[in-house]
Chain A
Amino acid sequence: MVSNIEQDKRRFHDIIKGNVRKGLKDLIIKGAGLPGRGKDGKVFIPIPRIDIPKFRNKEGDNEDKLGKGEGDIGDEVGEGEEEEGQQKAGDKPGEHMIEMNVIELADIMGEELGLPRIEPKGKRTIYQEFDKYSGERKKGPSALLRKRKTLKQALKRAIGSGDYDPKKPRIPIESADMRYRSWTMKPVPESSAVIFYLMDVSGSMEEEQKELARKISFWSDLWLRKHYPGLESVYVIHDAQAKEVTQDQFYHTRESGGTIILSGYQEVSRIIQSRYPVDDWNIYMFQYSDGDDWTSGWRREESGSIEFLIEDLLPKLNLFCYAQTTSPYGDGKHLEYIQQLADGDFALAEKIRSHQIDSNEDVLPAITKFLSTGK
């Protein structure tokens, strides 16, 4: 009985996904696409929506409010909104926070993202139909006849055989002249890819920073899995030592201890060597750290992590993404070194992407930066 709503809903989804009406892109509030935690421990995800701007009064974060009940002046009557963390762009923070199917969200979040620099590697190649009329055949249905081309062919033949008389330009068309449009089948090689997630779980990383790192890996992981069905993921955590863990452990481990980035790099390198031959795999690596490296700084020459990265790891990788969180303990030099690397060498610069993460708001930009294909 409600005649318009299904159409309108589909249209709304199309707009959100960026398929149509790209002019509205700026008004879409994706709520930074981040899960927030509700008071009862549920995970809430904002509904993406489009905010049509109107003249509105400026709103303070926490204005006076009216309520009902007993109590003396000065008594507490409820918490204020958190100053940080929640989406800021909306009318009222949290108003449109709901649980949402994560795949649905991943879908919406990532229409413009992809695995950058992916190359055809792997053992199998599969053939796919290329759905454009790009080819030409001599036989076909009359609907696809290329009339102009056919006439040209006939003309060529007529001139070639000397039958053509400019005063009486009549050209007989023979079946050999016929040209039809056709589609070509193009082989599309399948690409196999593996993603390494390397996270610093040492004591210098505070829980908040680990949370940010996890958020980035969670969303990029989710999105990539959806769009690259054959994708493999390897999770490595390190403090002073590195070890491979399961996905679940990666998201829930609380470790502490010193920080030696080199150990993580060596572990990744070892796994690549034993399981993922470079010729067969596209290899991506995401590293999360606060940039604290025990053997960096004044003892940097002994650390060797950067050297190992340049000499051993980077040649094997398609892309190396480094996200650094700000920590009260780490000196944060690692990001500098990595940026220096990228600045110094054009070939390396193509392979390296880095981003500084201070708060929730940096998460989506970081993901976008790491996974944007249009470089």
Chain B
Amino acid sequence: MAHWNLTSELEEMRQEVEEAARKCGLDFFPTDFRILDFDTLMAVTANNGFPTRYNHWHFGMQYEIFEKQMGHGFARIYELVINNNPAVAYLLQYNTASIQKMVMAHVYGHVDFFKNNHHFHDTDKNMISTMESHKAIVQKHIDRFGKDKVEEFIDYCLSIEDLIDFTPYIKDPKDDEDDKHECNCGSSGHESGGCGGGCGGCGGGCHGDDEGESKGSCSCNREEKELSDEYFPFPHYMKGFIKTENIYPELRKKKKNDKEKRPERDVLQFIIENNDLLKGWQRDILSIIRDEAYYLLPQMKTKVMNEGWATFWHQYMMVEMGLAGIEGVVHYTQAMEGILGGEKLNHYMIGYEIFRSIRKRWDEGRHGLDYENERDALKRMKWNTQEGRGLEKIFEVRATLSDVDFIRQYFTDELIQELFIYSAKYDKRSNVFRIASRDPGLIRNNLINSIFHAGQPVIEVLDGNFRNAKQLLLNHEFHGQELDARKRNLTLSRLFKIWKRPVCLRTIVEEAPVQVTFDGSKIVTERMQ
């Protein structure tokens, strides 16, 4: 494995690209470029871009998979950028000079995005050293408690690593104790609104509606404990086993008025705070997994935009600003064909096309009521108000949106038609896919559904003292797709190892609501109502 700094030739090139990027108005962290050989690049990729991660076999497995896939040309990788300050970018050793130039331009696009998109606002900009300290912490625990034991617990945690709150702002309950009473409805609506209003989790409670009563009674949190002290008529060791609000309706009422918040989606945090059976080192591990998950979350939520943005700018710099040069342009075009071409839809392509279309629309004023109401096809085609705000507009978009809104707002009917996008259905008889529709609305919705919540189910905590026995009650917020039963049961049995008491999940199976419980030995499924 080997890595180098830029050669003097490449460094010259980098300065040229950096200057061009500044001219474009890109605003980025200082960026540190490294040249890696193939093995090292694969290793770094397996680590999600980081030189150091804690020791765990799943990085080794990812490495092996990448190595074999890429080694045989099944997939390709040009570059890797870490959201850090200073940013770190890795280039592959054997790329030609013109490709490296394009990749550098691409990298500056990414770094600008990391710095300016507001979803990245709260990410740890010193993550490289944070990851190193994570490794040290895990190693300390391994030395003390043994490799197998710690590794096994990490395995369990990885099963629930994505059970975090996907809403835009990372809210750490410890930070916002002051504004706990405020309604956090506004922030939560952002991502969840993406599925056609399917997420009403917070709606009821926030408006003080009586219907919201049964929701969100997370019994173990700090506030309730304070209240319980006043009302608790039982011996102190019964605390946590008896729900006082069941006995004192007035307490329940008070609580409801105080704070009727939506169910907790940060399941990891909930477990860390409320599971009294966790050992210190286990809490450490959970926190590490949670920190890393939150760090990577914005990248999952802005994949399309981020790639589109970087592609847009390298295209702009290479062609419009002429960075590629006469001889480089052929190489460059071939590489672009590889990235954007093909029948498959990919993130680079969609994001790039959308940014291009936004630029065009705001350059020519093809937006707003006047344009929408214009029915004359010829006039529409020739429409141009010389507005010239194209670049300004895309900078605004890149600063504020995430993928779901980006696609909903700017993947217009016209663009979908222009790109010849279709939706295909599987024809079982002849084992082929056939074009089923070219309806832009349907296509857009399909796309949004596939990226909403990163394609993962929405899971939230309803109760940490369920059945008055400190069982964990989770809810699967249903968006039309049922859970894979085998994975669901396995995950529950692993969650049991973390929660250490029975765990339940409310979900939908065959269109009926059920409650699945793992009690430590077996899965029990009960129908509800």
Contacts and interface: CB of A to CB of B under 8 A. Distances in A.
B145 to A, nearest CB: 15
Contact of A8 (B63, B163, B431, B482): B63
Chain A interface SS verdict (over half): loop
Contacts of B426: 61-64, 80
Contacts of A4: 47, 52-55, 59, 135
A71 interface: yes
A173 B255 CA distance: 82
A10 interface: yes
Contacts of A9: 60-61, 63-64
Contact of B434 (A10, A57, A66, A74): A74
Nearest to A65: B424
B484 to A, nearest CB: 5
A49 B65 contact: yes
Given A1-B1, A66-B447, A55 B423 contact: no
Interface in A10-25: 10-13, 15, 20-21, 23-24
Contact of B435 (A8, A21, A71): A71
B151 interface: yes
Interface string B2-30: 01000000000000000000000000000
Interface in B34-75: 40, 43-44, 46-47, 51-61, 63-65, 68-69, 72, 74
Contacts of B135: 3-4
Given A55-B488, A67-B343, A5 B59 contact: yes
A53 B54 CA distance: 20
Interface string B158-189: 11111100000000000000000000000000
Nearest to B346: A68
A64 B160 contact: no
Contacts of B56: 8, 11
B483 interface: yes
Contact of B476 (A5, A7, A11, A55): A55
A56 B57 contact: no
Contact of A66 (B44, B72, B155, B424): B424
B60 A5 contact: yes
Interface string A69-80: 111111111111
Interface string B454-487: 0111010000000000000000100001111111
Contact of A62 (B433, B457, B494): B433
Interface in B268-320: none
Contact-residue size bin, chain B (C-beta under 8 Å from the other chain): 35 or more
A2 B38 CA distance: 13
B53 A66 contact: no
A50 B159 contact: no
Instruction: State the main secondary structure of chain B at its contact with A.
Output: mixed
Contacts of A49: 61, 65
B64 A47 contact: yes
A143 interface: no
A99 interface: yes
B148 A21 contact: yes
B326 interface: no
A64 B457 contact: no
Contacts of B251: none
Contact of B423 (A20, A58, A66): A66
A23 to B, nearest CB: 7
**Which one of A49, A54, A61 has the highest number of Cβ atoms from chain B below 10 Å of its Cβ?**
A54
Given A53-B494, A69-B422, A98 B69 contact: yes
Given A8-B63, A21-B148, A98-B69, A56 B456 contact: yes
A98 B72 contact: yes
Interface string B119-163: 000000000000000010000000000001001100100111111
B419 interface: yes
A126 interface: no
Given A2-B40, A69-B343, A71-B435, A57 B483 contact: yes
Contacts, number: 205
Contacts of A47: 64-65, 68
A71 B65 contact: no
A356 B137 CA distance: 52
B528 interface: no
Contact of B60 (A8, A65, A100): A8
A15 B154 CA distance: 15
Interface stretch (B106-114, B197-205, B436-444): B436-444
A67 B421 contact: yes
A59 interface: yes
B491 interface: yes
B268 to A, nearest CB: 13
Contacts of A67: 343-345, 421-422, 424, 433, 435
B425 interface: yes
A347 interface: no
A21 B149 CA distance: 9
Contacts of A80: 426-428, 431-433
Interface in A326-374: none
B457 A12 contact: no
A214 interface: no
Contacts of A68: 342-345, 349, 419-422
A251 B487 CA distance: 39
Interface in B476-529: 476, 481-488, 490-491, 494
A96 interface: yes
Given A8-B55, A47-B64, A68-B419, A75 B487 contact: no
B351 to A, nearest CB: 14
A76 B432 contact: yes
A70 to B, nearest CB: 6
Contacts of B344: 67-68
A87 B447 CA distance: 27
B446 interface: yes
B487 A55 contact: yes
B46 to A, nearest CB: 6
B485 to A, nearest CB: 7
B40 A12 contact: no
Contacts of B422: 66-69, 71, 77
A321 to B, nearest CB: 32
Contacts of B60: 5, 7-13
Contacts of A79: 431-433
Contacts of B345: 66-68
A70 B135 CA distance: 51
Contact of B163 (A55, A63, A70): A55
Nearest to A59: B484
B315 to A, nearest CB: 18
B489 to A, nearest CB: 8
Given A9-B64, A80-B431, A50 B58 contact: yes
A66 B158 CA distance: 31
B44 A2 contact: yes
Contacts of A78: 343, 424, 432-433
A52 to B, nearest CB: 5
A56 B457 contact: yes
B523 to A, nearest CB: 13
Nearest to A97: B74
Given A55-B457, A67-B422, A76 B72 contact: no
A57 B485 contact: no
Contacts of A66: 345, 421-424, 443, 446-447
Which among B421, B434, B436, B446 has the highest number of chain A CB atoms within 10 Å? Answer: B434
A10 B161 CA distance: 24
Contacts of A59: 484
A2 B47 contact: yes
18 contacts: A7-B60, A8-B55, A9-B63, A12-B60, A12-B61, A21-B151, A52-B58, A55-B163, A55-B476, A58-B481, A65-B424, A68-B343, A71-B435, A73-B437, A74-B434, A76-B433, A79-B433, A80-B428
Given A5-B46, A56-B484, A61-B426, 5 more contacts: A2-B52, A11-B56, A12-B61, A55-B476, A65-B423
Which 4 residue pairs of A and B lie closest in terms of their CB atoms, listed nearest first?
A8-B60, A62-B426, A53-B490, A9-B60
